[in-house]
Amino acid sequence: MNAPAKPLRGVLSPVLTPFNSDLSPAAPRFIKHCRWLLDQGVGLAIFGTNSEANSLSVQEKRGLLDALLDAGLPAHRMVPGTGTCALPDTIELSRHAVKAGCAGVLMLPPFYYKGVSDEGLFRSYAKVIEAVGDARLRIYLYHIPPVSQVAISLNLIDRLLKAYPGAIAGVKDSSGDWNNTAAMLKQFQPQGFDVFAGTETVLLQTMRGGGAGCITATGNVNPTAILRLYKTWQNPDADAQQQALNDTRAIFQKLPIIPAMKAAIAWKSGDEAWATVRPPLVELTDTQRRQLQTELDADQFEIPNAASLAHP
């Protein structure tokens, strides 16, 4: 019923999840935002860390994915996050994504227990692959130890690739450790294992190292410039482009980044509801918001066609 998944390349964004004032997911805003991201050329890594996805129930995630599909958005541009603490939840979400025809899934390791072994993580991924039992399953491993506190080691990737070469498709490296990204690029990218930077601040380095692109939070608010570097990274101005990306990123990153991105969309779209976050996150204070706006103005920051993100 859907085109077979094909290898992903380029810029994807962990799509922000808008909420209503009662903290329920705001599906119409979510659809608009996803459509807008696709219009900018950005792929949909829905249900990532910056999507507050682990603050959503399995049912809510299924419902939001179905809402996108019902709205006619193309599954082959979607890479839903499906990794949770609990094997049955990860299996259910992954199965649902594969059946929907998604290009892949971005899979956190189970992250409650700390200090677990590579053997235990291998078994976790293996169980999911075997339970889903579908040749279309393409897993992007999600390495984000600063948040998950559970790392995906090079040895684990090696073992998974040998056991499940068809299912293990790549990685999002959000370690913040360039040496780790470089090691993944060197050891695994030549095998067709696609390495995505976890932030656009190392996009140029990643492309020079043969990587596949980036999956980055600020794709939600600054897609044009990030995509331009992805497309023109061999141009003479690439380093200057990278510096400009870093400057914009720094403005968001010095604040709690999820509330900051939502505040920027609320501001530029005029739709205040966009600022809502789910606990345990907290929206920006007025002072933080003024700081954000002042610095973004100084950076001549714009969200193209921002009004289209407002609802209703």
User: Which of 88, 94, 93 is closest to 167 using CA atoms?
Assistant: 94
The one among 281, 290, 302, 305 contacting a copy of itself by CB under 8 A: 281
| Closer residue to a copy of itself, CB minimum distance, 105 or 185 | 105
| Closer residue to a copy of itself, CB minimum distance, 76 or 127 | 127
Interhelix angle 154-163/178-187, rounded to 10 degrees, is: 30
Return d(Cα 231, Cα 217) in angstroms, integer: 18
User: Using CB under 8 A, which residues numbered 134 to 163 contact a copy of itself?
Assistant: 146-150
Tokens representing 301? 């920051």
Using CB under 8 A, count the residues that bind a copy of itself. 39
Q: Is 57 in the site for a copy of itself (CB under 8 A)?
A: yes
Furthest-apart CA atoms within the chain: distance in Å: 52
Q: How far is the CB of 208 from a copy of itself (least distance, A)?
A: 31
The one among 56, 79, 195, 204 contacting a copy of itself by CB under 8 A: 56
User: Using CB under 8 A, which residues numbered 94 to 123 contact a copy of itself?
Assistant: 109-114, 116-117, 119-121, 123
| Closer residue to a copy of itself, CB minimum distance, 146 or 166 | 146
Stretch that binds a copy of itself, among 49-57, 169-177, 205-213, 264-272 (CB under 8 A): 49-57
Q: How far is the CB of 53 from a copy of itself (least distance, A)?
A: 9
46 contacts: CB under 8 Å, gap ≥ 6: 14, 15, 34, 53, 64, 65, 68, 78, 79, 80, 81
Q: Is 67 in the site for a copy of itself (CB under 8 A)?
A: no
Q: How far is the CB of 36 from a copy of itself (least distance, A)?
A: 25
| Closer residue to a copy of itself, CB minimum distance, 53 or 265 | 53
Beta strands in the chain (DSSP E): 10-13, 43-44, 105-107, 139-143, 168-173, 194-197, 213-215
Angle in degrees, CA 8, 14, 20, rounded to 5: 140
Q: Which amino acid is at 258?
A: I
Q: Please state the φ and ψ torsions of residue 105, each to the nearest 5 degrees.
A: -130, 145
Binding residues vs a copy of itself (CB under 8 A): 23, 49, 54-60, 85-89, 92, 109-114, 116-117, 119-121, 123-124, 127, 146-150, 278-282
